[in-house]
Amino acid sequence: MQANHNKLTLSDPSILESIQPGSRKKALWAGLAVIVVVAIAAMIWVVVGLQGREKEFEADLQKRLELMAVSQVQYIDNMLDTVIEQSSRVINAELFRLYAAEVHLVQDDVALLVSGSLPGQEGASEDVAQLSAQLPMMQSLLTEFTRISGYLAGRVVNRNGTVFIATDASTTPLREGQMTMVQQTVASQQPEFGPLRPSEQGLLLEAYLPIFPPESSGLEQQPVAVLLLTKIVDEKLKALSSNSLLEKGERTRLLQKVATGYQEVVPWRPDPLQNVRNFPAEQKETLPFATRKALDEDAQAYSVGRQVKRADWWLVIEADYQIAREGLRTQQRSMMSIALLLVLVFSVTFGAFWALLLSSQERRSARHFKRLAEEIENQRQLLDRINSTISDYLVLKDLDGRYRYVNPAFAEAVGRAPHELIGFDNEAVFGYDTARRLEHSDQQVLATGETVTFEELLYLQSQPHHLQISKSALKDAEGKITGI
């Protein structure tokens, strides 16, 4: 705010001429420039708004898809936990555990339980004969359990893969995949679930549950047999795709890992297992929310996935990219229309105001502003001369305590140029302790609106100065405090 006689002031002839008839063209171009600025500001508003809406849209979609994925995985986990809970009636029954342990001890003679002794070997093993006599009862108990619990079939298999109890009275050898699952169950000592497989009755779920020997048997507590249960699960899996929370373009997809990759389970189709191409097999436990290719096509989709804990399955929720963004595109069009309308309204309003201003107030405004400009210029020059020559320190601070103006005397006292101090606060100039002392009087002025005068010892450029400091509230036309 130092005096600068090279600056244009309100009394400068070039400013006064800008409202004269000869300068209408320049003023018109200035108005058009303002309209262009408004249009650019509107476009920036649209771009920023669209970016914000898109982030909000994707955040909401991510949260909803993740919640659905978690709930669907919980549904599957509950289905598998139910199988384990029901099977505990067999695998934890002392009768089955004891029988399985005794069968385990006869080892190679297990086949004789079903086929009987070969000619010439009728007395080969009394233990086998006793177990063979008990076999019909064990089959009856397992059959009754599967019937009541809703299972299609049940088998008890020893550690070598030989079936010695079967509800269908069949001793058909296990398939290669079933034998692998039996070995995996024995090794993990935990319930395991094999891949779903199609049958004439529907999709079959195979559960493999370890049977441990009784503690009184003296055997090591490792599985001596595996209970293999088969259950039809078409209806339960169909419930995944009929989730009422799914919106248009969204679908639930259940995948299972097989030797060739991943298959989608679609029990409502004639071929209920469909190979998928685009599942990222390297994922572990969680498929994070992202835009990626759909599982069976090249179209983009939003997707999120969770792995089923008890089986090598994945639950993926997909939302078609184009369909999911329909609402967002509608919002985008609305925002662009609003921005265009605002620019149009502003342009029309500005044009009408400009015409009215030029036609009715041009000469009166010119005379008024000329007198006002002369008065302001005289006052400004007077204030500049006073502020440049006064030895007292003069500072103007905003409500945040930051300097908005300092006179040359204050700037010289603290060893800075005036423009360098703009934006500083007391702490930046005097240090923390002094700033805290001065802050009390600031708060007093802001609270009361009255002038506060006090004496203070301040160090200016490392030299002590005893100062009398007066602080007053700076108020606007409405009496509101705007600074000190």
Q: What is the distance between the alpha carbons of residues 430 and 432, in angstroms, rounded to a whole number?
A: 7
Q: Using alpha carbons, select from 231, 275, 283 the residue that is nearest to residue 253.
A: 275
What one-character DSSP code corresponds to residue 311? B
Query: Which residues make Cβ contacts (< 8 Å) with residue 351, sequence separation at least 6?
Result: 31
Q: Which two tokens stand for residue 294?
A: 């759909």
Q: What is the distance between the alpha carbons of residues 155 and 90, in angstroms, rounded to a whole number?
A: 11
Q: Which two tokens stand for residue 446?
A: 């802001």
Starting at the edge strand that comes first in sequence, how are the strands of the sheet with 273-275 ordered?
273-275, 261-265, 250-258, 313-320, 300-307, 286-293
pLDDT at residue 188, as a whole number: 92
Q: What is the distance between the alpha carbons of residues 333 and 338, in angstroms, rounded to a whole number?
A: 9
pLDDT at residue 189, as a whole number: 92
Q: What is the distance between the alpha carbons of residues 1 and 408, in angstroms, rounded to a whole number?
A: 9
Q: What is the distance between the alpha carbons of residues 212 and 441, in angstroms, rounded to a whole number?
A: 82
Q: What is the distance between the alpha carbons of residues 456 and 439, in angstroms, rounded to a whole number?
A: 12
Q: What is the distance between the alpha carbons of residues 240 and 232, in angstroms, rounded to a whole number?
A: 15
List phi, psi (to 5°) of 285: 70, -40
Query: Which residues make Cβ contacts (< 8 Å) with residue 24, sequence separation at least 6?
Result: 358
Amino acid at 409: A
254 strand-pairing partners = 265, 315
Q: Using alpha carbons, select from 426, 370, 437, 433 the residue that is nearest to residue 403.
A: 426
Q: Which two tokens stand for residue 425?
A: 């606060």
How many residues comprise the chain? 484
pLDDT by position in tens, the chain (length 484): 444 444 444 444 554 455 555 556 666 677 777 778 878 887 887 788 778 888 898 899 999 999 999 999 999 999 999 999 999 999 999 999 999 888 888 765 666 665 554 444 454 467 777 888 888 898 899 999 999 999 999 999 988 888 888 887 656 788 888 999 999 999 999 999 999 999 888 899 999 999 999 886 677 889 999 999 999 998 888 888 776 677 888 888 899 988 888 889 988 888 889 888 888 766 678 889 999 888 877 789 999 999 998 888 999 999 998 888 888 888 778 878 887 887 788 778 777 766 666 666 566 666 767 787 788 888 878 877 777 788 888 999 998 889 998 989 888 888 888 888 899 988 888 888 888 888 888 888 888 888 999 898 888 888 899 999 999 999 888 888 999 9
Sequential DSSP letters for 70-136: HHHHHHHHHHHHHHHHHHHHHHT-HHHHHHHHHHHHHGGGGGHHHH-PPTT-TTS-HHHHHHHHHHH
Global model pTM greater than 0.85:
no
8 A C-beta contact, residue 263 and residue 256: yes
Query: Which residues make Cβ contacts (< 8 Å) with residue 67, sequence separation at least 6?
Result: none
